[in-house]
Every structure is written in C-alpha cells, then in structure tokens.
Amino acid sequence: MSKPRKIAVLVGSLREASLSRKVAQAFARLAPDTLSLSIVEIGDLALYNEDIEGDVPESWRRFRNEMRDHDAALFVTPEYNRSVPGLLKNAIDVGSRPYGSSVWAGKPAGVVSVSPGGLGGFGANHHLRQSLVFLDMPVMQQPEAYLGGAGGFFDAQGEVKVEGTRKFFATIIESFAAWVERILADPER
C-alpha cells in the first residue's frame, strides 16, 4: 500500500468541545487507511494584514509551512450569521498570501458544515465554497454535508451514538478519500 494522503482538517470553531471539532475527530477515526487526517490549529493566527508581510508573524509561518505539507484540506465549520466564522476566513486569507504563494492552489477540498439547528450550516457551507473555488481548490460536490441537529450526534465520550449517523459520516469521508485520489492522480493537474 502506498503512503496515506495527508489531510489538513481545519475546524472553524475555537471551543475545545465544539460540535465541529467532535465531527472532525469522528472523521479522523472513520477515515480509510488511504488518508491520514490531522487538525491544523488556526486559533493562534494573527489577523491578516498585508502591511506585516515583511515581518511575518511566527503563527503565519507555522501555518503556511504546515499547510504546504498536506495533500488536501477538509473544512469542518459551524455557521455564524449565515456565513463562516471569522477565524476560518482569516486562516484562508493567511494561507492565500503573499500573492503567488498560496498554500491552497490545486489542493482537493471538502466542506462539512455543522449546526445544532435544522439547516445544517447551509449558508456557511456555500460561502466557504465560494472562497475555495477562487483559491483554485477543487471542492468535492457529493455527498453534500450539511449536518443539522448535531447536538444529538455524540455520547458523553464524544463518540457518534447513532449507527445511521456513523454510516453517513463514513460515506462522507470515504467519498472524500476517493475525491482526493481522483484529483491528485490527474496528470493534467
């Protein structure tokens, strides 16, 4: 077997026990052997300001280097005011600069939005996709992953407690594995 693809998981919530973080951890446990998922922390990133590109903050340097070391990105995010949280947008901006040095270009991506409400973060999911398309990230289209009612997904230990939900999570991560392989294996890429 070849080496697993390194997947950066970006969680759009700072809370240690956030539903988005629990979903990301569940994907890591359910991932096929062809993927190696790791959460790339973004909470320490200084706000993007082009004026400080000459004296790059260490948090930006760490993040950019870490992202360059990954083959693909999986974004797992809550919805704030029908869009993505500021911390996730900031990470996207930090990684896309300086111009011509984006860490995102060509990396396959997946978007999973998570909400305790019924809409499953539909607005955040689609706003995030707009940014990723601009950054030249081929984004997995199916299955769509708007995870509504996420407050009831986990037991006290953080494990997915409903078999149907676990199967859906497995379908998402297995589809993402196939998507990543298809994009990275394309010789035209």
Q: Is 50 exposed, middle or buried (0-12, 13-18, 19+ CB in 10 A)?
A: exposed
162 to each of 154, 171, 179, how far by Cα in Å?
8, 14, 26
Q: Containing domain of residue 146, as a range?
A: 5-185
pLDDT at 1: 57
Whole-prediction pTM value? 0.95
CA 94 to chain CA centroid, nearest Å? 15
Contacts of 182 (CB under 8 A, 6+ apart): none
Q: What is the CATH number of the domain that holds 121?
A: 3.40.50.360
Tally of structural domains, the chain? 1
pLDDT, one tens digit per residue, over 18-67 is 999 999 999 999 999 999 999 999 999 999 999 999 999 999 999 999 99
